[in-house]
Amino acid sequence: MYGGIEAGGTKFVCAVANDQHEIMEKVSIPTTTPIETLQQVFAFFDKFDLSAMGIGSFGPIGIDQTKDNYGYVLATPKKGWADFDFLGSVKARYQIPIAWTTDVNAAAYGELKKGAAQGKNSCIYLTVGTGIGAGVVLNQDIFSGIAHPEMGHIWVKRHPDDTYAGTCPYHGDCLEGLAAGPSLEARTGIKGQDLPVDHPVWDIQAFYIAQALINYTLTLAPEKIILGGGVMNQDHLLQKIRQQFVELMAGYMEVPEASEYIVRWGLPNESGIIGSLLLAEKEYRQK
């Protein structure tokens, strides 16, 4: 049995799966304080005899094993979680191999193995929700360097009709500041899910996301880009993003047909938890 945790800012999804990757049991726990939340997480996993676990956590997180903050949640505004030794707390409870990565990396891994990027060696998973974040799998493995990538906080060219200052507390008008869900409401006074399809803000939105996808394509050349998150529930937005992507790329780089290359998730709402479970198995086999 393997255990998986998809740790989000609003909820923790915990699940156990058998060797055939079938999810046997799953719970959703609201994210409150670390102690309270983990108490419930442990109450769930204590019932099982696990071989390994995988954690995909909201970030930023410490992933450098040579540093003291390895396994920690770093600079998050989420109360009580900044500088919390998340991995250490779970390891103290369960002395088994535990894979540790970001929620979006876990989602990218899940999509590569079981979802929209099956059969590929590389993919990017981008979520557009309360924030914007991306996970990267290259050569079948999660990519990391001095830290995990922070691809939501890149700079994009401003849309000529957009004067909005941006919501990012660090950068103002980075991609997340200009194009995460809250920016839609800040510009229009209407929540993204209630905005009419023909509202001009969608062109602005598509312009920013398309630029991000071009930047990711030009730097990493993944085989597929997978889009998740609440805002991407807008089908027309996906079409607009593909159109803008092709237009702005201007034929420079040879890429697959946009409808094949830029796609919705193959594991709706489950990419992260499935990826965490698969990473648990991978960790077990490596140890």
Q: Is 8 in the site for ligand ADP (CB under 6 A)?
A: yes
Member of 28, 39, 193, 259 binding ligand ADP (CB under 6 A): 193
Member of 168, 184, 237, 278 binding Zn ion (CB under 5 A): 168
Binding mask 169-188 for Zn ion (x = CB under 5 A): -xx--x-x------------
In this complex, which beta carbon is closest to ligand ADP, that of residue 140 or of residue 193? 193
Residue 174 site contact among Zn ion, ligand ADP, none (CB < 5 to 8 Å, cut-off depends on kind): Zn ion
At closest approach, how far in Å is the CB of 121 from ligand ADP? 27
Q: Is 230 in the site for ligand ADP (CB under 6 A)?
A: yes
Residue 153 site contact among ligand ADP, Zn ion, none (CB < 5 to 8 Å, cut-off depends on kind): Zn ion
Q: Considering only residues 37-76, where is the footprint of ligand ADP by CB under 6 A? A: none
Q: Is 130 in the site for ligand ADP (CB under 6 A)?
A: yes
Member of 21, 67, 191, 236 binding ligand ADP (CB under 6 A): 191
176: left (phi over 0), alpha (psi -120 to 50) or beta: alpha
Sign of CA dihedral 224, 211, 220, 128: negative
Beta bridge partner(s), residue 263: 226
Residues in the site for ligand ADP, rule: CB under 6 A?
Answer: 8, 10, 129-130, 181-182, 191-193, 229-231, 233-234
